[in-house]
Structure 1
Amino acid sequence: MFGRTVLAATALAASALTVPAALPHAHAAARRVVELSNADNGRTVFVTLGEKVEVKLKATSGNGVKWVWDVPVASAPHVLRRVSGGTAPSGDARATFRAEELGKSTIIAPSRCVVTTPGHVCPRLGVLWRATVDVL
């Protein structure tokens, strides 16, 4: 009886220590995507190496004009590498960046005014969207 109890306890302990071979890579599970939009202008976010920052900016209309965005860029591309980006006919813009190196980078996107209704005039000022990304 004692022998069976020891044998059963040993088998239970061995099975608890067995790690399945199909576990995902620990770092892959930790990766996340930080999403930024028009409302995040002026914000600072913190990411770790390998994580992504996705910027999606929507054009705005009113008073016979439309504010359209240029593709967002990083001030320090060695810290934040842009892996994709583009603009849409609607005036929206998007870009995805990957944290490649420790440091700080500012993502900026200028917007420009386009007249959508005859007789209206664009103001002489522009709007610059920006967010700071600290890679830890």
Structure 2
Amino acid sequence: MIDHVIPWASLLAACLAMAPLRELSEKDANRTFDVRIGERVSITLHAQLGTGYRWIARPAPRVALSERPLQGADRPGGEERQVFDVTPLAGGTAELEFDYRRSWMPDEAPARRWHVTLRIHAAGDDDQRPHGAEQP
């Protein structure tokens, strides 16, 4: 029996690694998206890090969140991109919020805020909107 578990575990890990990638950007602010557990979500937000401002993610339940290395400008002082990867881990709702602020000024209001809502469904949920559906 154990011999049959390992190939299935490997297959599951490979499927998760190849899970569809949903790409979100600033144009997707304040929208709601239906996603499935394990579906990868990439968020790209523009920044000018030389000004001291950067996007700072607020912690969110039900998701794993990581930041990729910065994607730099093609010229000094040019716009850069911060890319965050989000993986839903449990069903429910996750409010993703990012503040554009100077990290050493925690009491200062953010210069900008970006927000989306993820409605996270298990892979077998039949009562959800079609996979990848979104609402304004």
Query: Quick check: 1:45–1:132 contact (8 Å CA) kept in 2?
Result: yes
Largest Rg, 1 or 2: 1
Letter of the structure 2 residue corresponding to residue 133 of structure 1 = L
Q: Structure 1: 5+ residue runs without aligned partners?
A: 1-22, 61-65, 114-123
Aligned length: 98
Question: In the alignment, which of 42, 46, 49 is matched to residue 34 of structure 2?
Answer: 46
Q: Secondary structure at the match of 2:22?
A: strand
Q: Deviations over 1:42-64 (max 9, x none)?
A: 0111111111111000127xxxx
Letter of the structure 2 residue corresponding to residue 109 of structure 1 = F
- 1:1-136 to structure 2, matched below 5 A, reads 31-59=19-47, 68-76=53-61, 79-88=62-71, 90-112=79-101, 126-136=111-121
Query: Quick check: 1:71–1:93 contact (8 Å CA) kept in 2?
Result: no
Query: Quick check: 2:67–2:82 contact (8 Å CA) kept in 1?
Result: no
TM-score, normalised with respect to structure 2: 0.56
TM-score, normalised with respect to structure 1: 0.56
Query: Quick check: 1:85–1:96 contact (8 Å CA) kept in 2?
Result: yes
Q: Deviations over 1:89-121 (max 9, x none)?
A: 6452111011111011111111137xxxxxxxx
Calculate the aligned-residue CA RMSD, in Å.
3.5
Q: Secondary structure at the match of 2:27?
A: helix
- CA distance, structure 2, for counterparts of residue 39 and residue 69 of structure 1: 18
Q: Secondary structure at the match of 1:101?
A: coil
Aligned-pair CA distance for 1:88: 4.9
Q: Structure 2: 5+ residue runs without aligned partners?
A: 1-10, 73-78, 103-108, 122-136
- CA distance, structure 1, for counterparts of residue 98 and residue 110 of structure 2: 14
- CA distance, structure 1, for counterparts of residue 52 and residue 81 of structure 2: 9
- Name the structure, 1 or 2, with higher relative contact order (CA <8 Å, separation 6+): 2
